[in-house]
Amino acid sequence: MEMISLVTGGSILGWAIVPLIAISLTYFQYNSADPESHPKDVHELFRMYDFIVIGSGSAGAVIASRLSEISNWTVLLVEAGGDENEISDIPALAGYTQMSELDWKYQTSPPTTSAYCLAMQGDRCNWPRGKVLGGSSVLNAMVYVRGNKNDYDNWEKLGNRGWAYKDVLPYFIKSEDNRNPYLANSPYHGTGGLLTVQESPWRTPLSIAFLQAGIQLGYKNQDINGDNQTGFMITQSTIRRGNRCSTAKAFLRPVKSRKNLHITMNSHVLKLLFNKDKRVTGIELLKNDKKIIIKVRREVILSAGAIGSPQLLMVSGIGPKEHLKEFDIPVLSNLRVGDNLQDHVGLGGLTYIIDEPLTFKKSRFQNFPTAIEYILNERGAMTSSGVEGIAFVNSRYNDKSIDWPDIQFHFTPSSINSDGGQQIKKILGLRDSVYNTMYKPLHDAETYMLLPLLLRPLSTGWIRLKSKDPKIYPDINPNYFTHKKDMDILVDAINIAMELSNTTAFQRFGTRPLKILMPGCQKYLFNSYDYWECAIRHFTFTIYHPSGTCKMGPANDPTAVVDSRLRVYGVKGLRVADASIMPKIVSGNPNAPIIMIGEKASDMIKEDWIRPKRKF
């Protein structure tokens, strides 16, 4: 085959290295697995591939790995960022990957229709997204949650045949290698898959208090990825031997030697290319400041995420025609790309103070013994992502007769103050006035946090272009809280959090809520509805679950972008497979569902090309 010669332009991530990170880096340099285990950035690319996968995140890495199982198919995986590094491998240092070179560093636009993110600089919330091999699975808190069976049954009811819970469960099981014995034999879990799932080997005693508090409020301690979701559980995480198990580590490193799989990093796709029949013919990408055209023989699979995928579609002529015409982009297919943006949102910084020295503080764990425990035994505090417990509960507004909770809690044995105002404040973009008023006084305090999240928001937002230049970040409008019921549910969730903190399980530690009033909300009475609404609109907290912007739906749905086989309407040879295809956001952290989407998409592509006389 003809080859295109490329000179790789890798860069070394520059870190302000604290002592603990320096110790860990030294360890990895001399004791880590063979560096050859990492996939290679291919220097010479073919001029044409059977399949091109754009984006190596939670779906794209899976798809590239699975398609390359067919030895006579050539697959190109295109990643805008570089490879993982030693920092991203350590669960406790997840915060150091955000706002780094591994992060796209997206921000929401200032609100126009409803107030939110007011406690953040410029009234803009940071939205980290992975710009690295493995995508956001390299930046996230590694929480393994599948969503609710009713989510997927609802997808099918919306006209998406083949996406009911019974259809997707086998794909969750296929990818999973669950290493907790009490789950391994469950019919809902898998062993031997490529993605390692287990509990962190370390947690604080407060995690048990969290479970006990749930029981005292009438909830079960159970597998929230099993038969019923409602309940409390110690967090299941995508970790392996105390280290992060990203999709790059799980799905790409084991197949790095396949000759038919090429990976090009630091390669920004600028445009999708089409012929006069509206069939995709290839891509234009930018690498080392050189524009390169790569042709495709069969399909392009777009897995650039709920922000990147709609942006690339729109700059390529697929999107709302009135919007594309604003930028003089010829309209190839008039679709509602960028609409239907959904996210899990809640109140940040809901902090509780305790009397005992049990919490996860930087000052307590940034030390030599902690580093040695991690280095020698792959155990200890550095194996923790910080999210020790997960709960799914019902607000007063939810139908409790069905197992479909509307609130999720993340329990963290730390709060905004726990690192002394260094990284947490930075990655949130929190205003100095808010931090100095509320959290700086807690510098030496023992604190934990309950993060209440709205699982199925009624309010939806949009992604729109700011320019036809694909290097200019798009306009991100989450449009939070335009429906009053969203706020009602969140305020009720805070009331439930207060009930949890008042249980004997937490009161044995002397638990009391932080009552310093949020700047901008001092006119309201603490713990009143008006106060919590104001606090939510100020310290708007998202753990970055954007979804839905390339909606999957039947042909008679005017808002649909892809069909149930993820094929883009109005063109040929193009699919989307990532969080953007979700017609409704799943009830829980979306990393595992996106991996499932990658697994299912891979099988559909194989079916469409391996069956006789079938061609897409």
Catalytic residues, by residue number, are 545
Q: Is 249 helix (H, G, I), strand (E, B) or coil?
A: helix
Q: Which contiguous run of DSSP H or E holds residue 299?
A: strand 290-302
Task: For 557-610, list the strands marked E by DSSP.
Answer: 574-576
Q: Give the integer Cα–Cα distance in Å for 293 and 239.
A: 37
Largest alpha-carbon pair distance within the chain? 71
Q: Copy the structure tokens of residue 119.
A: 């406690």
Yes or no: say if 518 and 438 are a contact pair by the CB < 8 Å rule.
Answer: yes
Q: Give the integer Cα–Cα distance in Å for 132 and 606.
A: 26
User: Which pairing describes strands 280-287 and 290-302: parallel, antiparallel, or unpaired?
Assistant: antiparallel
Give 372-377's long-range contacts (Cβ < 8 A, gap of 24+). Answer: 374/24, 374/90, 374/242, 375/23, 375/24, 375/27, 375/31
- 147: phi > 0 → left, psi -120 to 50 → alpha, else beta; which? left
Tell me the Cα Rg of the chain. Answer: 23
Q: Give the integer Cα–Cα distance in Å for 331 and 348.
A: 41
| DSSP code per residue over 427-490 | HHTB-HHHIIIIIGGGTT-EEEEEEEEESS-S--BEEE-S-S-TTSPPEEE--TT-SHHHHHHH
Annotated binding site, which residues? 132, 140-143, 269
Yes or no: say if 484 and 492 are a contact pair by the CB < 8 Å rule.
Answer: no
Q: Give the integer Cα–Cα distance in Å for 278 and 317.
A: 11
CA 606, 612, 615, 616 torsion: positive or negative?
negative
Yes or no: say if 266 and 10 are a contact pair by the CB < 8 Å rule.
Answer: yes
User: Which pairing describes strands 574-576 and 290-302: parallel, antiparallel, or unpaired?
Assistant: parallel
Looking up tokens 């003089």, which residue turns up? 328
Q: How many CB atoms lie within 10 A of CB 300?
A: 26
Q: Give the integer Cα–Cα distance in Å for 285 and 51.
A: 15
Annotated binding site for FAD, which residues? 132, 140-143, 269
Q: How many CB atoms lie within 10 A of CB 29?
A: 10
Q: Give the CA-trace dihedral at 26, 11, 312, 107, to 10 degrees.
A: 60
Buried b (16+ CB within 10 A) or exposed e, 221-239: bebbbeeebbbbbbbbbbb
List CB contacts of 12: < 8 A, sequence separation 6 or more: none
List CB contacts of 211: < 8 A, sequence separation 6 or more: 221, 232, 233, 234, 389
Task: Report CA 222 to chain centroid distance, whole Å.
Answer: 24
How far CA 415 is from CA of 110, 139, 353, 432, in Å, comes to 26, 19, 10, 16
